[in-house]
Amino acid sequence: MSSKQHKLRIAGALAVLATLAFAISCRGFFVNPTLSSIVVGPASPSIQTGTTGNTVQMTVAGKNNDGSQANPSVAWTITPTSIATISATGLVTSVSTGTATVTATANQDPSVTGTQTVTVTVGCIQSITISPSSGSITSNQPTTSFTALAATCNGSVDITAVATWTSSNSSLATVSNGVVTLATGATTSGSVTITASSGNVTSPAATVVVTIQ
C-alpha cells in the first residue's frame, strides 16, 4: 500500500470518528421534552340517569415542559362510583344523581394528573320550573334562594343541586345551586333573570330585582 493511500485511509477513519463524536455531543444538547400537565375535557359535562343522554366521552390534552402539545396515554378513574362509572377508554356512564370527579393519570409519569367534574341529573325530563318565580336581593340582604323542579316520566324531582344555573347579568348577580348572590363590586341597581337547565331542557326565567342601598 502506498503512503498516500495509507494517509487517505487514516484521514477517512478520523472523519468517521469525528462525525460520531459530534453526533454524541449533540444528543446532550437536545433532551426529549417531558409531560408537565394534563387537561381533562369536556369542561363541566352534564349527563342524565336512565338510558338516553347518560354517557359522556372524556378527553385529555397534555403539555410538555418545553410548551409543546402532547397526547399522553392515561389511566381513567372516577369518584364516587355510586354516581357514575368510567371505562378504560374514558367513557363515563351515569349511575345516580350527584357529582363525580374524573381523574386522568399519565401512564408515563403517574405524578402528572388532571381532573374534571361530571354532574349527573335526572333523566326523562319534560319540563323544569323555578320556584318562586321572582325574588329580590339588596346590599343588606345579598342572597336569596330558588328551587328547580323537573317534571319527569317518574314524577316531580328536585334538581336544584344538579341543574345548570345561569344569570343574565353575572356582573350584577350570580347564581349557583339555586342561590342568587349580589356580585362583588356591583354599584348600580337593576334586575337579572335566572334559568335552570338540564340536558336540552331549560326552565322559564325567574326575575331577581337587585337594589343597591
Q: How many domains does the chain have?
A: 3
Note whether 186 and 212 are within 8 A (CB).
Answer: yes
Q: What is the mean pLDDT of the chain?
A: 89
pTM of the model: 0.72
Residue 174 and residue 152 in contact, taking contact as beta carbons nearer than 8 Å? no
E strand or H helix at 18: helix 3-27
Model pLDDT for residues 115-168, shown as the tens digit of each residue: 999 999 999 999 999 999 999 999 999 999 999 999 998 899 999 999 999 999
Q: Mark whether 158 and 185 lie in a shared domain.
A: yes
Cell of 144: 336569596
Are both 45 and 114 inside the same structural domain?
Answer: yes
Query: Which residue range is the domain that position 104 belongs to?
Result: 35-121
Q: What is the mean pLDDT of residues 81-87?
A: 98
Out of 121, 147, 170, pick the residue that ends a domain: 121
pLDDT, residue 199, reads: 81
134: CATH: 2.60.40.1080
- Categorize the per-residue pLDDT at 52 as very low, low, confident or very high, splitting at 50, 70 and 90: confident
pLDDT score of 30 more than 70: no
Phi/psi of residue 87, nearest 5 degrees: -85, 175
pLDDT class for 4, splitting at 50, 70, 90?
A: low
Give the pLDDT band of residue 13 (cuts 50, 70, 90). low
Instruction: Measure the CA–CA gap between 169 and 166, rounded to whole angstroms.
Output: 9
CB 207 within 8 A of CB 193: yes
34's grid cell: 417531558
Spatial CB neighbours of 33, under 8 Å, sequence gap ≥ 6? 64, 65, 66, 68, 70
Amino acid at 190: G
Check whether residue 53 and residue 26 sit in a common domain: no
pLDDT for 28 equals: 47
